[in-house]
Amino acid sequence: MDLNNQYAAPHRVVITGMGLISPLGSSVESTWEALINGRTGCDRITLFDTSNIEIKIGCEVKGFDPLAHFSARDARRMDRCAQFAVVAGKAALENANYVITEENTYDTGIILGSGIGGVGTLTTEHAVMLNKGPNRVSPFAVPMMLPDTATGQMSIHLKIKGPNFCVVSACASGTNAIGEAFELIRAGRASTMLAGGTESPINAFAISAFHNMGALSTNNNDPAHACRPFDAKRNGFVTGEGAGVLVLESLEHAQARGARIYAEVTGYGVTNDAYHITAPDTVGPAVAMRIALKQAGSRAARIDYVNAHGTSTSLNDSNETKAIKTVFGEGAYDLTISSTKSMSGHLLGAAGAFEAIACVKAINESIIPPTINYQNPDPECDLNYTPNVAVKKPVHVAMSNSFGFGGHNACIVISEF
C-alpha cells in the first residue's frame, strides 16, 4: 500500500469481478440465464421440517455441498452464510483474475453486508442448551453466529489482510457494503475491495418471526407465483438465501494490471427515514436516490434501468413507486424498472449484492430481466415494471435500490465503462 497516495483526488471505481451463489444458480452465468428467462427459485422448503409452522415456501440455494469447498473440519465450524460468502468471494477473485500476494494483501479489503448473520447456528445451539444443558453448547457458536464472521472467514481463506468489516443495515446491507467499499477506494484507502452480502435465513425461527410480523407471502400452494412485486394481489416476500461478491478496483489499478472491466460504480446514496422501525417512508428513499444521482453527475443524466427493492409487500412496493416518482417526476413513466426478487426471493442482507450483479449483467448484455407474476395492475403501482418477459434494450446506466428495517435506505448507480 502506498500511504503517500491516500487522500488524493477521488479515484474512479470499476467492477472487475463477480461471484454469486443464489436460489437460481451456483454462478453468475447460471443465475443470469434463469433471470432473463423468468424462472423462479421459489419452491417448498427442504432445509428443515415445516410441518409445525405455517410458511412452507422459500428460495433455497439448491445442491450446495460444503464438502466440495471445505474440509469437514472447516465446514463444521462455519455457518452456512459464511460458507456462501467464502465460495462467492473465491469465484469473484477468479473471475477478476486477481491473485492475492504479499505485495497486495494489505491493499485489498473485504466489506460484506448481512442482516442476521449466523441465525441458523444461534437457534440450533440455543436448542442444544435447552435440551442438553449449557455445557453442551458448542465453543464455536459465537464465532459461527456473528455477522462479521463471514468477512473474517473470507480473509482467512483468501489471505486478504486489508480493511475488513461487516455492514448490518437489514435489507440495505449488501448495497451499503458495496457503497462503503466504493468510498474507501475513492479515498485511496485501498486499491481493491471485495464487497457484497451473504445470508442464510431459511430456518424455522427466522421464517416464523418474519411471518408473525406479516411480512411473508402465505401462498404455500403455489410457490412459483407467491412472489409478485407491484402486483395488486401481492401479499408478502419469499425468504431467499445466498451470497454475491463484486471485486471493485480503482481504475488506475485495474488498468495497470490489464483487468477486464465490467462496469463502473459512479454514485452512492445512503439515508435513514427516522420514521418507523419497519414501515417505509417516501422521503428517505427519494433523498438516497438523489444523492446517488448527484454523485454520478452527468453519467446519470439518463437512467436506463432501475432494479427496484420490490419486495412484494404492500407497503414497500407502493412506497418505492412514490419515491421514484418524487425523484424523476413525469420521467418516472419512461423508466424501465424490474424486481428480480420476483425470481430470487428476498436475500435480505445479500439482496443488494445480487441485484448489483444483475445491473452489471443488464449493462453488459443489453437485456433487462423481468418482474414475473405481474398480472393484476395496482393503481398505486403504475410504472413500467417489465412485466413477465425480459426486454432487450441498451443499458448505459442502472440504479439499484435497497431499503431495510430500521429505516435504512441505500442506492447505487452503476454505469457502462
Look at residue 313 and give its three-state secondary structure: coil
What lies within 8 Å, CB to CB, of 416 at 6+ separation is 263, 264, 363, 395, 396, 397
Cell of 312: 412484494
Residues designated as active site:
171, 309, 346
Closest C-alpha among 366, 365, 342 to residue 354: 342
Look at residue 353 and give its three-state secondary structure: helix
Please give the Cα distance from 41 to 238 (Å, whole number): 10
What lies within 8 Å, CB to CB, of 63 at 6+ separation is 26
Strand partners, 400: 307, 412
Q: DSSP code of 76?
A: H
Strand partners, 404: 408
Reported as half-sphere exposure (CB side, CA atoms, 13 A), residue 261 has a value of 20
Closest C-alpha among 166, 201, 178, 211 to residue 81: 201
Q: DSSP code of 352?
A: H
